[in-house]
Amino acid sequence: MSNTMRVIVFASQKGGSGKTTLAGHVGVMAELAGAGPVALIDTDPQGSLAKWWNCRESPQPAFIHSMFQNLVHDLDEARAAGFKLVVIDTPPAVTKAISEVVSFADLVILPTRPSPHDLRAVGPTIDIVEARKKPMIFALNAATPRAKITMEAAVALSQHGTVAPVTIFNRTDFAASMIDGRTVMEIDPNGKSAEEVKGLWEYIDQRLARLDAVQTEVAEPVIHTGPAFRNVNSLGREVPIFGRRAVS
């Protein structure tokens, strides 16, 4: 990873997307992988990530008690303290405050369950990330193994951005591990769930590592030709817009 402190923001308008669980797991996995020191920040008033961290026996990753209005100062303090990665969890809503949090992100992760309701709800979050001009990836979460809709969701989401090549499948060990402040990697390091989280982190780490190279390149102007917007998949079939406003 870069010597510069990186900030990952987990955002999703839809409640129940598994955002908090993934944020905690990615933070721990990054620490285990040697990408730390890592700090977690919970900006959700429900405080689910904070409550989970308070149950942990391990002091790593660290936890920074912060609020929206103090985020600038707290991130500066984390940078000065030598943290290399900060993972921020956000409330399940689309607000001006969420937009402000996204503005600090080096990478935004959008956890999405492969269901029609979740796919339709992802649009406003995409709009916020695009308005802030931040790189983002979709993380398919809580998927059912061998379900057709998982592949369909990946194809549909790919029309709006990059989908992480690792899918997190729905297993009870994720919920069980969060009860006492642990993660699936700490309960069963060789299990399938642990391997999926490891794969997701490795992909996120690769994306973060590319930031330095991308930022040094001179951006070329993008010339749009043809229709302004046509929401089709790779087979040329129309796909849902997921609650987003179509460009006319």
**Structural domain contains residue 242:** no
**Structural domain contains residue 25:** yes
199: Cβ contacts below 8 Å, ≥ 6 apart? 165, 166
Please state the pTM of the whole predicted model: 0.84
pLDDT above 90 for 236: no
**Domain span at 123:** 6-212
CATH code: domain of residue 47: 3.40.50.300
Domain count across the chain: 1
**Structural domain contains residue 95:** yes
**Structural domain contains residue 14:** yes
**Structural domain contains residue 128:** yes
* Higher pLDDT, residue 1 or 30: 30
**Structural domain contains residue 221:** no
Predicted pLDDT at 95: 79
**Structural domain contains residue 180:** yes
**Structural domain contains residue 223:** no
Give the pLDDT confidence of 46-80 residue by residue, as tens digits. Answer: 999 999 999 999 999 999 999 888 999 999 999 99
Predicted pLDDT at 163: 97
CB neighbours of residue 212 within 10 Å: 12
> What is the DSSP secondary structure assignment for residue 169, as one 8-state letter?
B
Give the pLDDT confidence of 177-215 residue by residue, as tens digits. Answer: 999 999 999 999 999 999 999 999 999 999 999 986 666
pLDDT above 70 for 232: no
Give the pLDDT confidence of 148-168 residue by residue, as tens digits. Answer: 999 999 999 999 999 999 999
How high is the mean pLDDT of the chain?
87
pLDDT above 90 for 218: no
Stretch 15-23: mean pLDDT, rounded? 94
Percentage of the chain modeled with pLDDT above 90: 74
Alpha helices in 96-236 (DSSP H): 96-102, 116-121, 123-131, 148-157, 172-179, 184-187, 192-216
pLDDT above 50 for 243: no
